[in-house]
Structure 1
């Protein structure tokens, strides 16, 4: 890697706040991945039901419906404070699961209940951390900062998947959860080390009494801001389609795919999950180094490749081929999701960032809907037919969005393609 590329990738760390937020996000993401893999495997092995597995995965995203409200809260009290409170909540809930596991009282029902409670808050973590990055970083470093921030999830999925599977297999769920609680707690402490801005968010001139306004009015304004801005509206639609039709096969359904399609165990599941994350990590690093890309065009091209590789994944049956395919799936989804985040943060007015990212998190609700529908379809027509249907439909609808907003997304001189 050249000195220039290295400097480009490391530039965000010159900002003191970023040096605390990045490891805080990393530890939290690591705990997320360990927890998802461990609990998903526990529910599947205890119940043997793919429908309950998809229900478990869906409950993790119940909070997407209230994500815009949390965006309003973040704009009012500050994104740092909101993020710290959310991560303290993860610590308490994980400690509860740890206690149940160590005392022998853990059951699938308790797992589903606690995951549902955590799911009220957890889906907003990505959006709030993105809004905080946009607050603490100069605008000319935003692509690099968001790309490097994305590596926290990618590296966590590699290490979290492998270490989570290893700890579960070697020590059992109770000791594995001791590590998860420690990660959440340390992530909370590091988040509190970020120095909050003097004002939680910039309030427009003449906005006297803004703090006395109804939160629902703030929410309506945020949704209207997204809906009336063509570039953001198109990006939100593509994010919704990806969550509905693409993510189910690399997220909630992966334990089922590992066991029933490829006939492998916890270690194989760890390798499959880690391969997706390795590809995603390479994509994040590549974009942080290269920079200066036409972001909207990249979003369209990367999303199309993502769906094409899912079509291939639906028809292969060997673990090595699946690992190679998931590498490419992870690479393309990383470029797609980073592009969407950059488009939203560049286009949104500064005092709307929390609400815009709240709307962005709202579309994650497509994931539990896609998971539940996929679980029912797999029982009826099988994995291959279901995955093929999802990938083909997602690709067709994404291209329809790109065609509808082609002026805002494809033209070289469109603001979304500014370098």
Structure 2
């Protein structure tokens, strides 16, 4: 028997719940990626402002501070219930934008409002997906399952970005949003088929701790668990300095630096996603041979180096290659991070810890807004290079400060 087997990728589908969750996550991710690309391009073209573009992306993370509340709600009433409610809301917001587009009443103000509404709940989607996997899958299959699950977002960024760009260029906003609304609706229906929470004895309501007590316990757990605390700081760092370069700023790079249209933007987004997809497949194949904490740190450093290479590329061909490499390194860092957090948290704290993890996403809007200001003053290349250098330095600092908890083979963060 070989250590790496292709059957590892198929093993999660033996669980009925995952056979519903995987396509549900895939369709939802398609809708999200198409919506992000279409609306981001619309804002850039209509306003001609990189600051307006970064504001649009920042609004989508408006609800990051609510992520622990979603996590606590999942721990109390079940993560499937919370995820279903969230995905129904996505479909309703998309349906409203569809109606405005067909009525030819859509303008940047409505787009900002839709981004704000979606931004209240969407930042918690990935955390709820991960917590639901932890709730429904056996522990021994967690690494492979997380790798396979990650392919939903990665493959959606490829197909969703290319399809969204192509449909938008060919047919306009209305038909594209009909498709987006359909993806959200189907994702919601499939999520209903995912297994609910395992039965367990709950305390009487009079003795049940308050939501704020749950939140305090989740924060205290993270603070007192060195490997989890290190992962949270690293998650905030990459959201602050890495993700803005491959998400909200790509429309600016495509239009203003490379002179590309919507389809060209789609190929840049798809390049990042292709690399990320390959990384997710690699993680799912490697499975339990991975040391999560070590891998998280090493490939975070490699991710920043790949982004630094992307920043220096003068044209779209080299940019696509560098983005593919960056996406590959991204998955090899973030998937082990999620597995490490889920494994160490256990059933009691799983939802709360993933909710706290989602707080790190708040780094994205902060990073985007700062980047928008810096780009107007010193240009994209210098601003993005500064982000990469800061990311490399602080990642090394995290690795050195928590060396005993992240690097030792027998450290909890490296348990398999």
Same fold (TM over 0.5): yes
1:19 maps onto 2:19 in alignment: yes
User: Within 1, Cα distance between the matches of 2:261 and 2:4?
Assistant: 43
Alpha-carbon offset, residue 213 of structure 1: 2.4
1:277 maps onto 2:258 in alignment: no
SS in 2 for 1:5: coil
1:315 maps onto 2:315 in alignment: no
- Consecutive unaligned residues of structure 1, counting only runs of 5 or more, are none
1:76 maps onto 2:76 in alignment: yes
Matching residue of 1:287: 283
Task: Say what the alpha-carbon RMSD is for the aligned residues.
Answer: 1.3
Matching residue of 2:238: 242
Matching residue of 2:214: 218
User: Within 2, Cα distance between the matches of 1:305 and 1:197?
Assistant: 38
What does 1:187-226 align with in structure 2 at a 5 Å threshold?
187-199=187-199, 202=200, 208-209=204-205, 212-226=208-222
SS in 1 for 2:120: coil
TM-score, scaled to structure 1 = 0.97
* Residue number among 319, 323, 331 corresponding to 1:326 in the alignment: 323
User: Within 2, Cα distance between the matches of 1:114 and 1:4?
Assistant: 44
Alpha-carbon offset, residue 418 of structure 1: 2.3
Matching residue of 2:400: 403
User: Within 2, Cα distance between the matches of 1:109 and 1:133?
Assistant: 37
1:54 maps onto 2:54 in alignment: yes
Alpha-carbon offset, residue 238 of structure 1: 0.4
What does 1:347-386 align with in structure 2 at a 5 Å threshold?
347-386=344-383
Say whether the 8 Å CA contact 1:38–1:168 is kept in structure 2: yes
1:233 maps onto 2:229 in alignment: yes
User: Within 2, Cα distance between the matches of 1:104 and 1:186?
Assistant: 26
TM-score, scaled to structure 2 = 0.97
Matching residue of 1:158: 158
Q: Which moved more, 1:307-316 or 1:395-404?
A: 307-316
Say whether the 8 Å CA contact 1:155–1:281 is kept in structure 2: yes
User: Within 2, Cα distance between the matches of 1:38 and 1:173?
Assistant: 8
User: Within 1, Cα distance between the matches of 2:198 and 2:394?
Assistant: 44
User: Within 2, Cα distance between the matches of 1:192 and 1:210?
Assistant: 30
Say whether the 8 Å CA contact 2:297–2:399 is kept in structure 1: yes
Alpha-carbon offset, residue 270 of structure 1: 0.6
Matching residue of 1:298: 295
Say whether the 8 Å CA contact 1:67–1:358 is kept in structure 2: yes
Say whether the 8 Å CA contact 2:167–2:176 is kept in structure 1: yes
Say whether the 8 Å CA contact 1:203–1:351 is kept in structure 2: no
Say whether the 8 Å CA contact 2:306–2:326 is kept in structure 1: yes
- Consecutive unaligned residues of structure 2, counting only runs of 5 or more, are none
Query: What whole-Å deviation, never above 9, does each CA across 1:246-269 have from its counterpart, x for those lacking one?
Result: 000101010001111111111110
* Residue number among 248, 257, 261 corresponding to 1:252 in the alignment: 248
Query: What whole-Å deviation, never above 9, does each CA across 1:160-208 have from its counterpart, x for those lacking one?
Result: 0000000100000111000000000000000001121343xx568xx55
Say whether the 8 Å CA contact 1:76–1:211 is kept in structure 2: no
Matching residue of 2:40: 40
Query: What whole-Å deviation, never above 9, does each CA across 1:193-230 have from its counterpart, x for those lacking one?
Result: 1121343xx568xx554774211111111111111100
Alpha-carbon offset, residue 81 of structure 1: 0.6
User: Within 1, Cα distance between the matches of 2:136 and 2:142?
Assistant: 10
User: Within 1, Cα distance between the matches of 2:148 and 2:406?
Assistant: 24
Aligned length: 414
Moved over 4 A (4+): 207-211
